[in-house]
Amino acid sequence: MPRLFLVDSSPSQQAPPGDEAGRDAVDEPIDIPPDQQAPSSRDAGRDDRLRGLVDGYIDFVARVLRNAGTPQADIDDEVQRTFIIAARRLDDVRVGSEKSFLLQTALNVAAHARRTIARRREVASENAPEAFDARATPEQLTDQKRVRHLLDRILDQMGSDLRTVFVLYEFEEMNMSEIAEVLCIPSGTVASRLRRARVEFRARVGMIEGLSKAERDQ
């Protein structure tokens, strides 16, 4: 299998992204040693590398976070959280494997954000945005906010396993081998999840289109 994302296989590298241990790590305080916080005691090379990560990958990180279920209102915080984790682990991230590290960390952070949302929803009463979705006509869908809201609703109804594969394949345009490697699952599982995710996606879009058409015909 080609290693397009060079994930460092050292133990310290394996912890944060993707797995349960890494997910738990997000809950812990992020203790950046003071000598790593102040420019006076940080070497310029480290700053340059960090700045390069932000400049090169901030859109990627934000997009992964958003499509993986992080609410828009939390994006700023979660992007910062992702890069702070990256800063803390910078010395463990091999040159060339930064994107993979950030991806796995972002997925991990997004999973944490989704759990927080789920807890909030347990408390809050369910609203009924389905009605909003169903009434959206193709014309209305040109409105970016409505489209984004509708996409969120569709993705939210997918299981997180299917959603992650769908997002990485359809939005990040990663190939199946890359996805398998990042998620540490067999390629066959990726293909299977993608198939099921697409069926779900198309079924929901079809339902919305059908409802919209029925409403227009009335």
Partner 1 sequence: MSEPPRLLDDSESATEKALLHAGRSYRSGRETRAKTLAALGIASSTAVVAASGSAAASSSFAKLTGAKLLVAVSAVGAVSLAPLAYHSFHKAEKDRATAAVLSARLPAVEPAGPVAKAPPPVAPPATTKAGPPVAARPAVRAAEPVSLAQELAALDAARATMARGDAQGALLLLDGYARTCPQGRLRLEAELLRIDALARSGQTEAARRRAETFLRHHPGSVLAARARSFTEPRGGRDD
The contact set with partner 1 (CB under 8 A) reads 29-35, 37-42, 47, 50-51, 54-55, 58-59, 61-63, 66-67, 75-77, 79-81, 83-84, 87, 138, 141-142, 144, 147-148, 150-151, 154-155, 167, 169-171, 173, 175-177, 187, 191, 194, 198, 201-202, 205, 208-209
Nearest approach in angstroms of CB 154 to partner 1 is 7
Kindly tell me which of 121 and 195 has the beta carbon lying closer to partner 1.
195
Nearest approach in angstroms of CB 216 to partner 1 is 13
Q: How far apart are CA 3 and CA 33, in angstroms?
A: 33
φ/ψ of residue 201, rounded to 5: -60, -50
Kindly tell me which of 202 and 216 has the beta carbon lying closer to partner 1.
202
Kindly tell me which of 7 and 85 has the beta carbon lying closer to partner 1.
85
Q: How far apart are CA 45 and CA 27, in angstroms?
A: 29
Would you state the torsion angle of the CA atoms of residues 184, 186, 191, 197, taken in this order, to the nearest 10 degrees?
A: -40
For 181, other C-beta atoms within 10 Å of its C-beta total 21
Nearest approach in angstroms of CB 13 to partner 1 is 20
Nearest approach in angstroms of CB 119 to partner 1 is 13
Kindly tell me which of 10 and 140 has the beta carbon lying closer to partner 1.
140
Nearest approach in angstroms of CB 15 to partner 1 is 17
Residue whose token pair is 């919305």: 208
What is the enclosing helix (H) or strand (E) of 191? helix 187-217
Q: Residue 36: what residue type?
A: Q
User: What is the CA 96 to chain-centroid distance, rounded?
Assistant: 20
